[in-house]
Amino acid sequence: MSPQADLVIAAGEMPGYLAPTAALVVAAAVIGYLTARVRVVPIVGFLVAGVLIGPAQFGVVDSSEAVEAAADIGVILLLFTIGIEFSLERLARVWTWIAVAGGLQLVLATGAGLGVTLALGGNWRDGLFTGFLLALSSTAIVLKLLGERRENSAVRGRLALSVLIAQDLAVVAMVLVVPLLGPTAEGGGSAGGALLWAVLTAVGVIVAVLVLARRVMPAVLDVVARTCSPEVFLLAIVAVCFGTAYLTALAGVSVSLGAFLAGLVVSESRASTQALAEVLPLQIVFSAVFFVSVGMLLDVGFMLANLPLVLGAAAGALVLKTLTTAVAATAVGIRWRTAAATGLLLAQVGEFSFVLLTVGTAAGLAPLGLADDGAQVVVAATVLLMLGTPQLAAAAARLDRAPVATAGGPGAPEEDGEHRDHVAIIGWGPTALELAATLRDRGVGVVMTTLNPDGAAQAEADGHTVVRGDPTKVEILRLAGVPAARLAVVAEDDPEQAVRVVTAARAVTSAPIVARPLGAVDVVELADAGADHVLDRDRISGHALERAVLSELGHAVAHPDGRRTAVDTTRVVRYAWPEGSGCDHGSTSRPVVPWAPVCVGCLREGTDWVHLRVCLGCGYVGCCDASPRRHARRHAAADDHPLIASAEPGESWAYCFVDDVTVPAPGGAAPEAEAPAAQQ
With cut-offs at 50, 70 and 90, classify the pLDDT of residue 676: very low
Across all residues in the chain, what is the average pLDDT? 78
Give the residue, 7 or 293, on which the prediction is more confident.
293
Asked if residues 341 and 399 have their Cβ atoms less than 8 Å apart, the reply is: yes
User: Looking at residues 296-317, what average pLDDT do you find?
Assistant: 87
d(CA 476, CA 275) in angstroms, rounded, equals 10
What's the confidence (pLDDT) of residue 320? 94
Q: Exposed, middle or buried: residue 323 (CB in 10 Å: 0-12, 13-18, 19+)?
A: middle
Encoded amino acid at 336, one letter: W
101 pLDDT higher than 70? yes
What's the confidence (pLDDT) of residue 8? 45
Taking Cα atoms as reference points, which of 413, 362, 372 lies closest to residue 185?
A: 362
User: Looking at residues 371-378, what average pLDDT do you find?
Assistant: 82
Asked if residues 460 and 446 have their Cβ atoms less than 8 Å apart, the reply is: no
What's the confidence (pLDDT) of residue 677? 39
Beta bridge partners of residue 552, listed in sequence order: none
Taking Cα atoms as reference points, which of 353, 349, 354, 338 lies closest to residue 389?
A: 349
Return all residues near 590 (Cβ < 8 A) that are at least 6 apart: 524, 616, 617
User: Looking at residues 198-225, what average pLDDT do you find?
Assistant: 74
153 pLDDT higher than 80? no
DSSP states along 412-443: PPPPPP---S-EEEES-SHHHHHHHHHHHHTT
615 pLDDT higher than 90? yes
Give the residue, 322 or 519, on which the prediction is more confident.
322
* Least reliable range by pLDDT among 53-62, 128-137, 407-416, 441-450: 407-416
250 pLDDT higher than 70? yes
pLDDT, one tens digit per residue, over 62-93 is: 656 666 677 777 777 777 877 777 666 666 77
Long-range Cβ contact pairs of 56-59 (< 8 A, separation 24 or more): 56/296, 56/298, 56/299, 56/300, 56/301, 56/302, 57/300
User: Looking at residues 633-660, what average pLDDT do you find?
Assistant: 90
Q: Starting at the edge strand that comes first in sequence, how are the strands of the sheet with 661-663 ordered?
A: 621-623, 612-615, 643-646, 654-656, 661-663
What's the confidence (pLDDT) of residue 62? 66
* Least reliable range by pLDDT among 167-171, 190-194, 472-476, 594-598: 190-194
254 pLDDT higher than 60? yes
Type and span of the H or E element at 46: helix 42-53
130 pLDDT higher than 50? yes
What's the confidence (pLDDT) of residue 383? 84
User: Looking at residues 499-524, what average pLDDT do you find?
Assistant: 85
The pTM assigned to this predicted structure is 0.60
Neighbours of 97 (CB within 10 A): 28
What's the confidence (pLDDT) of residue 315? 93
Taking Cα atoms as reference points, which of 349, 303, 285 lies closest to residue 78?
A: 285
What's the confidence (pLDDT) of residue 475? 80
Asked if residues 396 and 341 have their Cβ atoms less than 8 Å apart, the reply is: yes
667 pLDDT higher than 70? no
User: Looking at residues 624-643, what average pLDDT do you find?
Assistant: 92
What's the confidence (pLDDT) of residue 346? 93
* Least reliable range by pLDDT among 100-104, 240-244, 443-447: 240-244
447 pLDDT higher than 50? yes
What's the confidence (pLDDT) of residue 678? 37
d(CA 257, CA 69) in angstroms, rounded, equals 17
What's the confidence (pLDDT) of residue 141? 79
What's the confidence (pLDDT) of residue 656? 93
d(CA 402, CA 400) in angstroms, rounded, equals 6
3 pLDDT higher than 80? no
* Least reliable range by pLDDT among 307-321, 405-419, 469-483, 650-664: 405-419
Domains of the chain in start order, with CATH, are 3-399 (1.20.1530.20), 423-535 (3.40.50.720), 555-679 (3.30.40.10)
Residue 577 is given by DSSP the state P
Q: Exposed, middle or buried: residue 432 (CB in 10 Å: 0-12, 13-18, 19+)?
A: buried
502 pLDDT higher than 70? yes
